[in-house]
A and B are shown apart, each in its own frame.
Chain A
Amino acid sequence: MTAAAVSIRNISKTFGKGGTIALQNIELEFQPGEFISLIGPSGCGKSTLLRVIGDLIEPSEGEAIIGGKKAHQARLDRDYGMVFQEATLMDWRTVEKNVSLPLEMMGWDRGARRERVRELLALVELTGFEDHHPWQLSGGMQQRVAIARALTFKPSLILMDEPFGALDEMTRDRLNLELLRIWEATGATVVFVTHSIAEAVFLSSRVVVMSARPGRVQRIVETDLPYPRTNDTREDPRFFELATEVRELLRESHEAREGQ
């Protein structure tokens, strides 16, 4: 049996001494090639969970295992790529140099870097923008550069923290389609944090619905819409059913908390 792409074992995280409980006893397992969304109200710890998987935050309890390795080792081995809400590009580097940044650190030689960057820019449809600076690009284009950067070293896992949260609806829809295409082309596992119910349902094979204070997994919704998904998927009755299911789960958790 192959190892799970991500396995989260009884993780809890408390900030500060006796402070807020961000995560409580989280148990999850993602299979290779899955597209997982984490959704929940603000304060449910979805971003914290993503950072625990990436070993950017130490859990207070439990551990995350990435492809059979401890998260720390997986980070050292550069097993995952990360995309944030802000594109987080380096202003002083051109698009090409931004994308090749991780490769530079992994000691690739110039020719190989060039070659790989060219492939990736073609994949995110930014060929011809190599020499632009980030501030010359639109928000959506910047985010595509960030995605290309996360893919450079062919990680088997991609962690995305609300990558399209700051974009307008139309750009977001387009990038959703593009992301699915990239995901299918690379075969990587994606863990995707979002606020948007439609986005979560449209993209994912499974949606992890979380509740807040303390952050817990409320339910996992299997989205049985067939891939490849297209703009028509958004009009599929099943899409509406699933979105409604997720929406009701979120409302439930909200009302449960209000009722306390």
Chain B
Amino acid sequence: MAVNLLKRLGIFVAVLVGLSALYMGYRQLFLTTGWTWPFKVDEYAMPRLQDIVSRLWKPAATEQPILVQVLVEKALFTAKEAAAGFALGAIVGIAIGVVFHFSNLVRRGFLPYAVGSQTVPILAIAPMVVIWLGGQGLPVWMPVAVISAFLTFFPVAINTLRGLDSTDPRKLELMRSYAASGWSTLWRVKFPCALPYLFSAFKVAATASVVGAIIGELPSSIQDGLGGAILNFAQYYSLDPSALWATNIIAAALGIIFFCIVAVVERLVVRRAPENVA
């Protein structure tokens, strides 16, 4: 057990060191040789790693707290949007999956549009969603949560449907032999059978919710979140590239944390034979 943990820790450190070495090595190679393909490397294109890390402990802007504090606050704001978007998307997605499962007619009527909805560029409709919902006196992060839910509901709906459809027919026969009601069968058999599918959708949705929240913030001129920070630092990239890189690191951490939360919950909730673990 302890040896295993140690090994994992070793791999983790190795991966971190490897990635850093790759980054700095690439940078150094291109700086010394002066190669310009595929892109020109300079202090501005690839800031030094130590600069990026130390940037976190310098003021975000003049007369402001240090960057890491500002970014963590913004990340928490984005996390709030993403969490709300995830919850909303999951509820709507499960509801749609259940309805599709029970009604073939509704499924044929709406499934093509559910697929089509994912090709709508959310970046383009985000400003309108903000205006629609913002006009209703809702807090500013709510429209972004809705935009985020637009990305998260789809995988959940599809996997709910797939999971419910895939229930072992003999289990259904057994429930029929007990003269179980449709709801009882759904609750006692179909949902538990669909759980592994649901969780693999939740993992996709966790990432998508963060992406959706960041994209949703971009055109909505919401400054309190990571999307706003990215937009802001992108404008000053030529002056302060490390700030944008640092923001990206925080955004990456947020995405991974969201994913890990779902993965941990999955481990606690889904009970199944060890050999069936995907």
Contacts and interface: CB of A to CB of B under 8 A. Distances in A.
Q: Do chains A and B touch in the complex (CB under 8 A)?
A: yes
A132 B274 CA distance: 14
B7 interface: no
B173 A84 contact: yes
Nearest to A86: B170
B274 A135 contact: yes
Interface string A64-87: 000000000001111011101010
A56 B179 contact: no
B177 A92 contact: no
B271 A56 contact: no
B51 interface: no
Nearest to B184: A105
Nearest to A82: B177
Q: Is the interface of A mostly helix, strand, loop or mixed?
A: mixed
Nearest to B176: A56
Contact of B178 (A86, A91, A92, A105): A105
B174 A91 contact: no
B179 A75 contact: yes
Contacts of A80: 177
Nearest to A135: B273
A101 B187 CA distance: 12
Contacts of B47: none
Interface string B261-275: 000000000111111
A145 B30 CA distance: 68
B46 interface: no
A82 B275 CA distance: 28
Nearest to A57: B173
A80 B174 CA distance: 11
Interface residues of B, number: 22
A78 B178 CA distance: 6
A100 to B, nearest CB: 12
A86 B180 CA distance: 20
Q: Is the interface of B mostly helix, strand, loop or mixed?
A: helix
A141 B177 CA distance: 22
Interface in A220-234: none
B171 interface: yes
A92 B270 CA distance: 7
A75 B174 CA distance: 11
A90 interface: yes
A112 B275 CA distance: 35
B274 A76 contact: no
Contacts of B275: 135
A176 B275 CA distance: 30
B271 A82 contact: no
Contacts of B276: 91
A104 B189 CA distance: 13
Given A56-B176, A86-B170, A102-B178, A91 B188 contact: no
B171 A56 contact: no
Nearest to A85: B170
B192 interface: yes
Contact of B271 (A54, A91, A101): A91
A133 interface: yes
B60 to A, nearest CB: 48
B130 to A, nearest CB: 42
A60 B123 CA distance: 57
Given A90-B189, A105-B184, A133-B271, A82 B179 contact: no
Given A76-B179, A92-B192, A82 B273 contact: no
B23 to A, nearest CB: 45
Nearest to B269: A92
B176 A90 contact: no
Interface in A31-83: 51, 54, 56, 75-78, 80-82
A127 interface: no
A244 interface: no
A92 B193 CA distance: 9
A88 interface: yes
Interface string B178-210: 111000100011001001000000000000000
B273 A101 contact: no
A101 B177 CA distance: 12
B43 interface: no
The 5 closest A-B pairs by CB, nearest first: A135-B273, A92-B271, A82-B177, A76-B179, A88-B170
Given A82-B173, A135-B275, 10 more contacts: A56-B173, A56-B176, A75-B176, A78-B178, A88-B168, A88-B170, A88-B171, A90-B192, A92-B272, A101-B188
Interface of B: 168, 170-171, 173-174, 176-180, 184, 188-189, 192, 195, 270-276
24 contacts: A54-B177, A56-B173, A75-B176, A77-B179, A82-B174, A82-B177, A84-B174, A88-B168, A88-B171, A90-B171, A90-B189, A90-B192, A91-B192, A91-B273, A92-B195, A92-B271, A101-B178, A102-B178, A105-B178, A105-B180, A105-B184, A135-B272, A135-B274, A159-B177
